[in-house]
């Protein structure tokens, strides 16, 4: 079944450069993400941080002075990282986070941000604001809100319910 007719490429109709309209959306999304991300990489790279690491620190700061178990932190990160351990190794080696095992459940490793970590975030704060301005400062708040809603709608069926990375 589903005979593989060669050259059934759905091209030459509405979407000259794409296999389908969905593909165009995805490629536009990818491209836009890539361009905006390049600014993040530029800024955070100057401080030997990845965007993922910055977000981990940001989440830890917002939890501070509470702590977060490793996997709970992983679930809140934007893109799943199967390499939590080593990412945290790097942050710990630099003194930006602290790890501790509690006696009540010796399986979980509780993570918290250190004073040095918070200081680093504070030092970055202005540069981050500038970057945000360069990223999307040209979009009105209304357009930004519109974009957010469309993005949520776009990924909604693919959203993993066990992932509590955002307000519900």
The residues binding DNA (CB under 7 A) are 41, 45, 48, 50, 52, 69-72, 79-88, 90, 99, 104-110
Q: Could you give the angle at the alpha carbon of 156 between the alpha carbons of 58 and 74, nearest 5°?
A: 30
Near its own copies by CB under 8 A: residue from 11, 47, 101, 102: 11
Q: Could you give the angle at the alpha carbon of 61 between the alpha carbons of 51 and 71, nearest 5°?
A: 70
**Crossing angle between the packed helical segments 115-136 and 21-45, to the nearest 10 degrees:** 130
- Counting contacts by CB under 8 A, is residue 27 touching its own copies? yes
Near its own copies by CB under 8 A: residue from 9, 47, 101, 102: 9
Shortest reach from residue 116's CB to its own copies, in Å: 13
- Counting contacts by CB under 8 A, is residue 45 touching its own copies? no
Q: Which two tokens stand for residue 40?
A: 């993040």
C-beta of residue 117 within 8 angstroms of C-beta of residue 57: yes
Shortest reach from residue 103's CB to its own copies, in Å: 32
Query: 4 touches which of DNA, its own copies, none (CB within 5 to 8 A by kind)?
Result: its own copies
Near its own copies by CB under 8 A: residue from 13, 20, 46, 89: 20
Q: Please say which residue, 71 or 139, places its beta carbon nearer to its own copies.
A: 139
Shortest reach from residue 94's CB to DNA, in Å: 10
- Tell which residue, 152, 63, 144, 146, has the closest CA to residue 110: 63
Q: Which two tokens stand for residue 127?
A: 């540069």
- Tell which residue, 161, 146, 144, has the closest CA to residue 36: 144
Q: Please say which residue, 14 or 85, places its beta carbon nearer to its own copies.
A: 14
103 three-class SS = coil
- Counting contacts by CB under 8 A, is residue 47 touching its own copies? no
- Counting contacts by CB under 8 A, is residue 157 touching its own copies? yes
Distance CA 134, CA 70 (A): 33
Q: Please say which residue, 9 or 102, places its beta carbon nearer to DNA.
A: 102
């Amino acid at each position: 079944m589903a005979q593989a007719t060669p050259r059934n490429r759905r091209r030459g109709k509405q979407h000259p450069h794409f296999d389908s309209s969905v593909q165009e959306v995805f490629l536009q999304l990818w491209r836009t993400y890539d361009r905006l991300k390049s600014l993040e990489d530029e800024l955070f790279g100057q401080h030997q941080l990845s965007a993922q690491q910055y977000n981990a620190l940001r989440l830890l700061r917002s939890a501070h002075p509470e702590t977060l178990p490793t996997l709970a932190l992983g679930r809140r990160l934007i893109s799943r990282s199967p390499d939590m351990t080593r990412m945290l190794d790097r942050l710990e080696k630099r003194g930006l986070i602290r790890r501790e095992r509690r006696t009540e459940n010796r399986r979980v490793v509780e993570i918290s941000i250190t004073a040095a970590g918070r200081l680093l975030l504070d030092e970055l704060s202005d540069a981050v604001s500038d970057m945000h301005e360069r990223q999307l400062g040209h979009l009105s708040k209304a357009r930004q809100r519109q974009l957010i809603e469309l993005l949520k709608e776009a990924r909604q069926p693919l959203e993993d319910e066990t992932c509590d990375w955002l307000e519900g």
